[in-house]
Structures are given as C-alpha cells and as structure tokens.
A and B are shown apart, each in its own frame.
Chain A
C-alpha cells in the first residue's frame, strides 16, 4: 500500500487550516471575536461555515459505509440531518438570533432568569459535545490508518493538536473562514472522485445495475424486522429532524448572524448546501455494493469512501483520488471537532474556567483557551479508551439526546409563555436521563434483536414526547413561577429588528 498521497493530503489540509486560521487571527482581538465573530458574518459565508462544521466524519465516511452494509434505510440519516435545518428554520432560527444570547445556557438564563436552568443546560451542552466529539476523533484514527498505515492513536492526536492550535489562537472569527473553506473542500473531495468512479462503472458495463434485485431488503428504506424496524426508522427520523436544533455547535453559529432575517437566510442556504453534499455519499455506498462488498462483510465499512477509488481505479489516478478523499475526510474531522470544541469551550469558559476560583478570575480570552484545552483533551482520551461503535451511529445517539433535551426547551421557550424554570429543569432531566440511559446501554452491550433493543437503540420516539410532556405538565403545575419578564422576552424574540423597540 502506497501512503504518499494520503500523507501529502493530510499535511496539505492541516497546513491550509492553520494558515487560514492564522489569517483570521489578524482580525480577532476581543472576546466577542472569539465567541461569536462579533456577529458580523454574512449569510453566504456563514452558511458555508455551518455546512463545513456540520458535515462531520459521520457524513463524509459513515453514511456511505452504512448504506453499503445496511442498505437504503440508512438514507434516513442524511435526510434527517438536512431536514433538521428546515425544522430549525421554521421554529427556531430567527427568534434564537434575536434572543441575543451567546450559547444555549445563555438563552436558558435569559428566558427563565434562573441560574439553575443555566447550570443544567451547561452540563447537557458539555455531555452532547463530548458524545459527538469522540467518534470524530476515532474516525480520524481510522482514516489515517487506512490512508497512511499509521497506528490508530496518531489520527486523534493530530486532529486534536490542529484543532487546539486554531481554536485557542483565533476563536470563532478565524474558525468561520476555516469552516467555509472546509465545506467546499469536502464537497469537491467527494464530487470529483464520484464522477470518475461512476464513469469507470459505466465503462465496466454497469455491474450490479441489471441484477434483478435479489437484495430487496437492501433496497427497502426501512430497518428490517417488521414492526420494530418501522419503529427504528421513525425514531431515527424524530431524532435527526428535531436533534439538529439542539446541537451545541449548530446553535452557537446562529449568534454570529447580524440579525434574525439573516439567520433565516443563512439557514436556507445551509439547506441547499447540505442537499447538494448528501447526493454524493449514497453513490459511494451503491458503487461499494458492486466493487467492495467484502468491506461490509469484514465490518470495515467506515473506510469505504477511502478505499473505493483505489479498488476501482488502479495506478496513479486511483492514488490521486485516494489523496483527495483522504483530504476531505481529514477536513471533516477538523471542522466538526473545531466547531464542537468552540461550543464546549465557550460554555466551559463562561460557567467553569471563567468563574472566580480561590479569589482569582481568569481573563475572558484565557478562560476560553483553558476551556478549549479541556474540550479537546477529554474526548481525545475517550476516543483512545472507548470502543468503536461506528461513526454515524455514535453521532446518531448524540442527536437523540439533543432532540430529547434542547429541542423541547427551545420550542416551548420560544413559542409558549407558560414554560417555567421548574418545568424546564424537569423536562431536561426526564429527556436527558431517558435518552442518556438508552445511549449508555447501547454503547455498553449488544442485545438481541426485537422490541427492547429497538427502544434502546433509537430512544427518540419515546424520550422526546416524554420530555415535552414533562415540561408542559410541570409548568402547568407551577404556573405561579412563570417569569415576570416573559412577555417582554417574547416581544424581543419575535419582532423584527427594524422595529425601534427597547429590547432590554
């Protein structure tokens, strides 16, 4: 196995990332630059950055591998990851921007005027962030092993080092440029090889296309197993459609828009960019069915995108394409890890490292840097220690937790005056503990197929309604605790900025 193109690709991406990050550093000076790029990012740049940040290893590698192994029911992952932005657009985007908060805990505190809700939200942001970060680091190890033959610990360490260098030096402002660059890199790194591979497939006489569909089950867009299969599919849909709005790195991006209208337009561009990208991974999955079926059999389907060019196109062209997809995959780890680290570091710096400690208080930017170190090192250690569960599946679990906690908090907090702090905490606890327990069970043990496994593997379909019901029920029971400023807060969330109101 030649490793030259892989090494070249990884080094180029790392250098480009650091260079763009350093360029951004020149314009990053204040804490506001660090956290929200001073809220001055236009819709197109911001949308590219959101796309770059959002398309993680799960999208770049995981979806194609899942499609290869399990078939077209896995197409629900990319659909849900895109449709999540439509739900976000319709219910959350503009009001969230208008709330004027930095992070999810900020939103919670502004809405309820309660430090306790804030603390619960902070814990959840960190938990979801870690659950999402560690498969990214594991995927990086996998990629470098496949591309370069390096031991699996090299990838996480390299990604962690680059992310840390960028995040702690330039913060959100420089990351915005890095992320936007990485979206387009990822798109081309998947598009060009796909075009060549499809051409090769035609030249080969389209193997697999004319087969009279012996693999009905592979083509059915449902998880197998009848009733539980249908449940798993719908639960996945619920988790991804509703989970997107609760992901810390997605939400933090909305605060960088100049106003609510720009937040909506940004989201619309994101929908288009994601739709474009997600046309590609299934192509790899389908081609892999004809050319690389043994990867699925040996349980290494996550490396399908990386191995397919080499398997289908011998010689120099194949090596060059391999280099390209490796670059894209590496960009995927870097961008998602950076975004999540920023989100987690932002929360940590506000609620932990920025607090006075033994009478001393770290300055804003220093607190952010310390938070960033924690946000990178902890998932790095988890990636090295925890078992490999499949990139897309682990990310799917993070979505389930986000859908069961922040989704009800945001939806009810934005659209219902009656939500109280007690209701919010009870709902976050019910949804978080319910989905969290299911995640822990899934990660720790493999159970036999059937209803119990289905319910644990995809908890969203029961944990999301549970969280909503708890929030509404407890809020109704504690009606006297509705914050006095709720009416004013609603005005701020829903009126256009052009209206000259005193926004508090």
Chain B
C-alpha cells in the first residue's frame, strides 16, 4: 500500500486525490492502523522496551487486520501535540500515548479527532474517545520491598525516582510499607532525578544513595544504569520494566516486568470489531500485566517464599500493602486500622508514608 501511494505521489496526482486514494485503499485492504507514542527509545530495555513488546504482540496476533506504527523519544511537553496529531492524520484509528506526561496533550488532540480513539497510559483524564489504562506496578513493588526489607543489612533502602507523579509515589509507598512489614525500622531514601532516562545521573544518584548507607537500591527510572553501579559495588537492586539481569548478573535480585501485550491486542481487536469503549483499566498481577522475573540465586529460600506469598496474595486478593494503619511522613494517621486504601485514592496519591526520607 505504501508503495502504491508513493508511486501515485510521484505521478503528480494532487494531494487531495492521493489522500482519498490512500483512504480507499486502506478500506479495501481493511487494515486498521494503530499508533504508539513512546517516551524513550525502544532500546531502553525498560519502560518503552516493554511497551514496544506489547506493540509487537499486536503485530503477531492481528497482523492480518492491523498495522502498527510508532514514534520514539517524544518529549512530555507541548511538542508531543503535533506528533500525536500527525499519527491521527496518518489514519490511525487507535493511538496509545504511553506515558503520564502526555495526559493533557492526548485530551487536546482527541478533541480535534472525535473519530479516532485514544488510550492514555497511567493518567486519569478521560473523554468519549479517550480511555486510560494503567498497571498496578505497586503490587510488584511490594514484592521488591518484601525482598529488600528482609535482605538489607543496614535497613536503609535507596529508591531512585523520576518525578513526583502518582505512579512513582505509589511505588515508593508500596516498597517502603512492604519493607517495613519485614523490618519495622526500615527506611527508604528517595532521590528524584527529574528524568525517566538519564544514565549518567541515574548512576551518580545510585552512588550517592550507596554512600549515604543504602545497601539495596531500587529504581523507578528506565535504564539499567543503577544496576550496573550496584554490580560494581557488590550490592543488590532490582530491574524496572523488564528483566535486566544481563546487565548485572549478580546485583539483579529480580525485576518487575510490564506485560502490555494482552491488553493492547484486546483493545486493537475491539477497534476491529467496533466495540471499543472509553474505560479505565487498571490491571495487575492477577491479570498478568505485572509479573516478577525469576529470583537471583542470591535470594535465600525463605525470602523467596515470602515474596512468592506476596505475589499469591495479590492474585487471590488476600494481601494488600495499603492496609491501615498508615502514617504519612509527618506522622499523621492517613489510613485507619482495619481500613484499606481504595483504588480511587491510590490513583491520585501525593503523599509519602512514614519512613520515606525525601526532599519533597
């Protein structure tokens, strides 16, 4: 199809004629175009890499009906607007914007293209043609916190964050609370580096956390830089978004893997079938959106059993890390004994739990 349209262009057919021709051919061939806006490079081996795996799952499952396109390295500022608009103009019927920072841009472009469906990842603003989807990463982070709380000798854990957005705040809190269940005195030192991807800064921040006494550092940024520093120092950490054990065979205790494929396939199928609706989807371990990589051999059997227990608990609903009493950093009671935070509250959380040491 692309070849034909290019040839048509070269023949000097007017732009309007060409466009209608492309549209007709698309209809004739019946392939639905699905677009993706990616935050980082697909080679980041983390967040964007995992989303791209999800895109490839669409190609594999619906390749005869659906065609996917993507744009990498799209900044989370106003410059995302023309990029999203461009995908809509290219004829995409469904566009996934795969990071929190595209929230308002997605809503804006969606209002210009009422016939195109949009899906925004990790946000909370919806419209008739904008759905949101998210993954309960905090369920995975509770597993990591359990391991870290049990394995840390100093009881001081490092957390390398990106920005203070609900997803990261949830991750920090889940990690800290789970660690405190194993070691009530556990503390989490938090450094936000104001970027999702900046390997030198991630490395320097990891250095800093280690220097200040952390013996396990977990990351909420997208490169394996922190793990490599931990490997060099003989300490432990966790992968983010994908199994990063090849970068740090000894330091990589386990990782949270994001599995977007089934959701993406299901939503693309809904477009093909014409059954797409604007919804808010927040799947987790139960649905298989978040999985935990195989444990490193450095994880002792009893710790692995505890971590498995947390995983099983999330899946059957018997475990929730956000069960009261929960205090915030200043010691105010935020969740009473016997209560559990609702998903709606979790989605907009903006305070850290007691035991988190942070600058903001």
The answer to whether A and B assemble together is no
